[in-house]
Structure 1
Amino acid sequence: MEFHPQPTAGEAKPWAFPAPERGTLGNGLTVLRCHRPGQQVVAVELILDAPLNAEPEGLDGIATIMARALSEGTDKRSAEEFAAELERCGATLEAHADHPGVRVSLEVPVSRLPKALGLVAEALRAPAFLDGEIERLVRNRLDEIPHEMANPSRRGAKELYKELFPATLRISRPRQGTEETVSRIDSAAVRAFFETHVRPATATAVIVGDLTGVDLDAVLAETLGDWTGDTAERSTATAVSSDDTGRVVIVDRPGAVQTAILIGRVGADRHDRVWAAQVLGTYCLGGTLTSRLDRVLREEKGYTYGVRAFGHSLLSGPDGDGIALLGISGSVDTPNTGPALEDLWTVLRTLAAEGLTDAERDVAVQNLVGVAPLKYETAAAVAATLADQVEQNLPDDYQATLYRMLAEAGTVEATAATVSAFPVDRLVTVLVGDASQIAEPVRALGIGEVTVVTG
């Protein structure tokens, strides 16, 4: 039998995260453009300087309502007409609010880019914010809240932020507001928030795609360049304090057959020199099916479908100061909540005592760095990462530098960073489950004072 010859691998080509070209329009709008040959669907990310800590007192969630209302009509088009024009462009437009600010995301075929950018500019110049539309968005948001509270993972996250941060800080409260605060929002308040915080001089547009034959300067001048506003300074991040005293909070869900686990604390973010090693070590701890936590809790003990460790940047100041949420999350069956937590703490203590292995480090580097070109195949993925860098006050070449640092980080360095990130006596543990079954086994572990709250 004659077989075709086995294919051989070609010569590896060097790859680096794309470097954007930075510029500024006459109205003060910062523009990052990145030409990606072959990407016929262009991705645009607009970062608006409307952070959650700028929301008026008692109106938590107004940034979310404003973001959702941007595509609900302008002074020229109704909500239905605006949506129809977007559809004719073959475009998708989304917006959401988070702690750093509001993000507006557009994807559109390059041939329709001028028209779609014109619609975005129209929404930023003169959003309608009609009473009826705002009332509808408020009702929709109020309908979402009970569903979020019923979700164990979302409920656990809400409790963790409440535990970690003082009640006086906006970051301690739900990003999209509570029933009490959202119900107070009206069109006048939304318009006032928009007029106070949304302006081109403090905004950034990231544009990624195949720009061959596109006179982007002319397109921008005719669209986003027509957006006007004052030249107020960018907002500054509020100093954040946190309390990571080791303790356990159980959100009681009588009869729950599973316990949702969320363990966290605040630590170093992307501005810190330890971040690359921390990312590498955290991946070894709980980043994939072959990580230590999964190997013990899933493969050996069968407690869970999976446990993940992660680091997520929360807030970054202009001077390079910032914080990240460092966490471990997963779900286990109710009877094994105590044993699962005991084994989890054993994994952390073993890591501190014995460290990572070179083999673990090598696998993590391959998975984080080796597959990076696949992760950024689409224009949207590149644009989102560049927008993250803008929000976090990072240099334009940060992502490329990070991959180089990940490849260079050693096993000892990754171990030290991860042990520092997850000290066994400085972790806040939130459990969403049946307190009558899990409280006593958890108290017996001695991992911190146990408090039970209603679910």
Structure 2
Amino acid sequence: VGDFGAEELFGRIDRAFGGIPAGDPVPPVRATEPPQLGERRITLRRPTPTAYLRVAYRAPAGKHTDTAALLVADAVLSGGKGMGLGGGGPMGRSARLYRALVASGLARSASSDFDLYVDPFLFSIGATALPGTAPERIEAAVDAEVARLATEPVPDHELARAMKQVRAQYVYSGEGVTNQAFWLGQMEIVDSYRRAETFVAELAAVTPEDIRRVARTYLTPAARTIGWLIPAGDGGGSATDVLAAAMPFRRWSIGGAPAPGPTESAARTGRAPFERTELDNGIVILGQARPDAPTVVVRMRFEAGSANDPEGREGLAAFTARMLARGQEGRTFEQFNEATDDLGASLGVEANRTFVELGLRCLREDLPAMLDLAADVLRRPSFPEDEIAKVRNELMTGIREAENDTRSAADLAMRRLLYPVGHPSARRTIGTAESVAAIGRDDLVAFHRDRFGPKVLTVAIVGGVADLAEAAGLIGARFGDWTAHAEPPTPPPPAVRPVEPAQVRVLIPAKSQADLAIGFPVPERSHPDHYALDTANLILGRLGLMGRLGANVRDSQGLAYYAYSQVESGREGGVWVGKAGVDPKDIERALAGIEAEVQRLRDEPVAEDELADAKSYSTGVLPLALESNDGVAATLLALERFDLGLDYLDRYPAIINALTREDLRAAAVAHLDPERLVVGVAMPPEESEG
């Protein structure tokens, strides 16, 4: 998929690969698994902060004619899911499992899942209980919803909602040539690439009776396997699906470009221009119009992150962010969920240390309605007491999971060595159990009143709009009269270089792995050495399979399950972070291996081919970052945040290509010191090691 001539490209492929012998044919696998004739059940009791349920039913292969009905049944249970390599945001907060388990206060999350595979696979359902909820109540609620799917026809309005979500996710999955190529390739593997063209018609043909039939056929008690993880002991274990650290991703970094003016654009051959304008009340609007695109992404970012949390109310920004969609003037949370799900759209609000950000994705024709919802969410939240109680319970569960997750615990321990007590970077964004328990409705109302307003709002809108004028008109009609007086906050101070190395170990029972988080302060993004340092780190801990750290510490020495590093640079300063997962007995050897690689980066210039690969990666990944609407929106916000100018992406390749081996070594010498690293380790107690 992309800008090429098919005949010419196929010829090149044939010349490159056509001479390779085909080899012996792979013998077909003729064995089929016999049907499951009775329920299978396993219950594990481990130190864990809450109970986790997983139910799996046997499901057919992707070629089977029942797969379309099963996909729609999955959407009825828990909303439409992203397809292929990507898709839209989460949907389904008006769906059956969410209503029965999450909205009722039994669970923190609940979902179902079905996808297309070459071989028969699974239709699964999962739930994470809120602390104190009896597992039997969770399982009974799941059983009731599965039974209802098999016995009662899905009402027309509910089926229409599920269909809209599945069709919308199909459209979202086609954003960008990479997603399109993946989707075609996946269909060819599972069945035929031509099915990608007929798939929507398959879904549209599904009837309520089809859903009831496949539920009776596949979602039967005799053909299911049930797994429970039940808390035991002191709650020292944790599922890692909540706050586990993610692998690094590319952030477009900084230079010393002047701030863009009130209106400007940067065009590039083959790319629609990036544009910027500002409303009279101070709202900055960034955009890239893609008039032919069927979808739109909007990101609305406020400088209202957890750095603004008052003492004793840590977690207030995160609490407020989660409450904004939980009810607005004249609209309940249930009605809000129905409105977004009816449109096959997603809208969510999240907080980090610096920002609270609303993100929405919708089909082009639904943008005005979704912006109406966004305006109510951001300007007119109602903070209902019953939803406050639910969000508090969800946050408490997240805190307990984070405290007992080795990656999260190691990262926090490292940052507490870099920053003084009370610094926003030395605490979790979601706060502590004590601080979240102390937050009341008055705190939420006051935080929203004092921290949200036009002067701290930047909007990025990308996709199916005619031009920036249309986008600005849509935003201005809903936010142009907003006069809240929130001002940009004073940023917290950066980390100070440690005078000596330090290490803290956090013991977490019932674990088999230790996680390491290593840190050292680095300069702000606008520092002249940023590009050299970032590129040096690319070679150290990211390029290929986790760079030199992956090649040496992980592959050659076999000391780590993963090992990587990244540069986290902000406007006022940043941190170089290295991370690894190791066997507890290998902690010191793994640390020594990482320190040795940092020292090597200082002692000798990188190899010519390493630098060439790093430059090729850094410049070559640009088009991929700009394929999707959301990728462009994130890029626009970064350009504004760091005063880079809208022509930054045009200048970026020259900046990277000008770097030399000595530039990288000098930056490593100036800004990384392996003899003064701080280390957070989260590990099992000694009696649990091995």
Give matches, 1:201-212, under 5 Å. 201-212=455-466
Give matches, 1:433-448, under 5 Å. 433-434=683-684, 436=686
- Runs of 4+ residues deviating >6 angstroms: 14-18
Pair 434,243 (structure 1): closer, same or farther in 2 beyond 3 Å: farther
- In 2, the alpha carbon distance for the partners of 1:240 and 1:130 equals 37
Q: State the SS of the aligned residue for 1:6.
A: helix
Task: Tell me which of 373, 377, 385 is aligned to 1:123.
Answer: 377
Give matches, 1:94-105, under 5 Å. 94-105=348-359
TM-score, normalization: structure 2?
Answer: 0.58
Deviations 1:211-259 (A, max 9, x none): 2378334322332334x12345322213334352312212224564322
Is this contact kept in 1: 2:353–2:425, CA < 8 A? yes
- The residue that corresponds to 2:492 in the other structure is 238
**Whose RCO is larger (CA < 8 A, sep 6+)?**
1
Runs (5+) with no aligned partner, structure 1: 317-321, 440-455
Q: State the SS of the aligned residue for 2:682.
A: strand
The letter of the residue matching 2:654 is R
- In 2, the alpha carbon distance for the partners of 1:279 and 1:158 equals 23
The answer to whether 1:259 aligns with 2:514 is yes
The letter of the residue matching 1:360 is E
Deviations 1:361-396 (A, max 9, x none): 111111221122112210101111222343445544
Taking only aligned residues, the RMSD between alpha carbons, in angstroms, comes to 2.6
Give matches, 1:36-75, under 5 Å. 36=290, 38-75=292-329
Q: State the SS of the aligned residue for 1:183.
A: helix
Is this contact kept in 2: 1:67–1:96, CA < 8 A? yes
The letter of the residue matching 2:330 is K
The answer to whether 1:353 aligns with 2:603 is yes
Is this contact kept in 1: 2:417–2:502, CA < 8 A? no
Q: State the SS of the aligned residue for 1:265.
A: strand
Is this contact kept in 2: 1:297–1:344, CA < 8 A? yes
Is this contact kept in 2: 1:202–1:233, CA < 8 A? yes
The answer to whether 1:187 aligns with 2:435 is no
Q: State the SS of the aligned residue for 2:531.
A: helix
Task: Tell me which of 353, 371, 388 is aligned to 2:638.
Answer: 388
The letter of the residue matching 1:109 is L
Pair 47,432 (structure 1): closer, same or farther in 2 beyond 3 Å: same
* Rg (Cα) greater in structure: 2
The answer to whether 1:250 aligns with 2:256 is no
Is this contact kept in 2: 1:338–1:438, CA < 8 A? no
Deviations 1:409-450 (A, max 9, x none): 1121122223433211121011212464899xxxxxxxxxxx
The letter of the residue matching 2:312 is G
Give matches, 1:151-166, under 5 Å. 151-166=405-420
Is this contact kept in 1: 2:450–2:485, CA < 8 A? no
Q: State the SS of the aligned residue for 1:129.
A: coil
Q: State the SS of the aligned residue for 2:638.
A: helix
Is this contact kept in 2: 1:267–1:421, CA < 8 A? yes
The letter of the residue matching 2:665 is T
The letter of the residue matching 1:209 is G
- In 2, the alpha carbon distance for the partners of 1:18 and 1:324 equals 32
Task: Tell me which of 267, 290, 309 is aligned to 2:565.
Answer: 309
- The residue that corresponds to 1:296 in the other structure is 552
Identity of aligned residues (%): 25
Task: Tell me which of 6, 12, 17 is aligned to 1:6.
Answer: 12
- In 1, the alpha carbon distance for the partners of 2:413 and 2:553 equals 24
- The residue that corresponds to 1:196 in the other structure is 450
- In 1, the alpha carbon distance for the partners of 2:588 and 2:424 equals 33
- In 2, the alpha carbon distance for the partners of 1:6 and 1:296 equals 36
The answer to whether 1:77 aligns with 2:331 is yes
- In 1, the alpha carbon distance for the partners of 2:662 and 2:688 equals 36
The answer to whether 1:88 aligns with 2:342 is yes
CA drift of 1:142 comes to 0.6
Deviations 1:82-122 (A, max 9, x none): 11111223221121112222111111111111111111011
- The residue that corresponds to 1:25 in the other structure is 279
Q: More displaced, 412-421 or 89-98? A: 412-421
TM-score, normalization: structure 1?
Answer: 0.86
Is this contact kept in 1: 2:495–2:574, CA < 8 A? no
